[in-house]
Amino acid sequence: MGPHPAVAAIRLAVRRVLHDVLNELSELPHEIPHGLSHAAVGSGRPGRAARLATAEPPLVLVACSGGADSMALASALAFEARKLAVRAGGVTVDHGLQAGSGSRAAEVAARLTELGLDPVEAIAVTVGRDGGPEAAARDARYAALDEAADRLGAAAVLLGHTRDDQAETVLLGLARGSGIRSLSGMAAVSPSGRYRRPFLQLDRQTARKACLVQQLPVWDDPMNADPAYTRSRLRHEGLPALEKALGKGVVEALARTAQLSRDDADALDAWAADVDASVRDETGLLDCAKLYALPPAVRRRVLRRALVTAGSPAGSLFARHVEEVERLITGWRGQRAINLPGRVEALRQGGRLVIRQG
């Protein structure tokens, strides 16, 4: 008799991701050319090429909070890694936002060790205030995961986001009036290739059921039910109200919207990258007349790329900022320089768009 359907589903999802990681690693050079760093060969993931050179099995980490989604992911990784040439490890992050968080992180680490993961680390972080509590906690968490992955030489880090999380992310982007990139939600594979989300096609209930039938203890973070947090209100009030008004299937429809939006956004980003050089003069400045001739969606992407390259932080650069700069192209009436995040300014001079850091 095979495993419970929920357990089989999570294992299959993880197996596919591990095969992807192994296939990508097999395509890397087996020797590091003289003078080339590990990071350069590993496309931004230090340790990948080094591991191939020493024939050491690659390490895949799971980021685990102790909740049902990430515990199900950890159990599936532990099971599948034993059948493949993969070492499985785990990281849990203590945000220090609740009483007893250190002890809870230690308990999660112990559970990961019991599953057979090695290495396992519990990492304490200090959460700042930039962007609000949810964004600040996320930034601190990813910084800790990046540091651990670099230090341990991990080939990939698995995250337990589900289809329900994807639907919530799409709705949050919609509520902010964001563009199509925001509506595309979370990527199954991050641009660097480090972060993987095996469960984006699975619902939250499948992960919880997998934990139940495997008798895995889980911790339900009270912050996930706290109405003070936007995502919590959306999860417990917004989505249920939508399903009541529109019928079942809202989560699945939003997840499909994310994938369709991602495909469109990727195509537009590629278009913008291709035309970037053609809308610049011989000195590298953006030509306003050539920018004006571009479709708006492509023009805004070219502008955003230029602003980020000049030093404006991508996470602080919003659609309204890009729209203000775009008006220097489409509605210029002698406006002065526009100040942007990262002390970057944009101004129009002699038919050229000058973007520089002040």
- Convert the pLDDT of each residue in 204-227 to its tens digit: 999 999 999 999 999 887 777 778
* Banded model confidence at residue 131, pLDDT cuts 50, 70, 90: low
Q: Please report, in angstroms and rounded to a whole number, the separation of the first and last CA atoms in the chain.
A: 67
Q: Give tens-digit pLDDT for 6-60.
A: 999 999 999 999 999 999 998 876 544 333 334 434 444 445 444 444 568 999 9
Q: Write down the pLDDT at residue 318.
A: 85
* Integer Cα distance of 161 and 168 in angstroms: 11
Q: What is the DSSP letter of 118?
A: S
Q: For residue 130, is pLDDT > 60? A: yes
Q: State residue 18's pLDDT score.
A: 98
What pLDDT, on the 0 to 100 scale, is given for residue 39?
41
pLDDT confidence tier of residue 228, bands split at 50, 70 and 90 = confident
Confidence of residue 330 (pLDDT cuts 50, 70, 90): very high
Query: Position 321: which residue type?
Result: H
What's the pLDDT at 30? 56
What integer pLDDT is reported at residue 203 of this predicted model? 95
pLDDT digits (tens, 9 = 90+) for 177-203: 767 888 899 999 999 999 999 999 999
Please give the pLDDT value at position 147: 97
Give the closest residue to 101 by CA, choosing from 133, 65, 56. Answer: 65
Tell me what the pLDDT averaged over the chain comes to.
89
Handedness of CA 282, 285, 287, 293 (dihedral sign): positive
Of the candidates 12, 58, 16, 64, the one whose C-alpha atom is nearest the C-alpha of residue 189 is: 16
More confident residue, 327 or 55: 327
Does residue 5 or residue 97 have the better pLDDT?
5
Q: What is the pLDDT of residue 98?
A: 83
Confidence of residue 266 (pLDDT cuts 50, 70, 90): very high
| Amino acid 55: pLDDT | 65
Which residues is 355 bridged to in the sheet?
A: 346
Residue 262, pLDDT > 80, answer yes
| Size of the chain in residues | 358
Cβ neighbours around 35 below 10 Å, total: 6
For 313-323, the pLDDT digits (tens) are: 887 888 889 99
The pLDDT, as a whole number, for residue 38 is 41
Residues 309-317: contacts with CB within 8 Å, 24+ apart?
310/342, 310/344, 310/355, 310/356, 310/357, 311/342, 311/343, 311/344, 311/357, 312/340, 312/341, 312/342, 312/344, 313/341, 313/342, 315/131, 316/341, 316/342, 317/341, 317/342
- Asked if 58 and 51 touch (Cβ cutoff 8 Å), the reply is yes
Say what the pLDDT of residue 32 is.
Answer: 43
pLDDT at 302 over 50: yes
Q: Is 128 left (phi over 0), alpha (psi -120 to 50) or beta?
A: beta
- pLDDT of 244 > 80? The answer is yes
What proportion of the chain, given as a percentage, has pLDDT over 90? 72
Give the residue carrying structure tokens 């290495």. 119
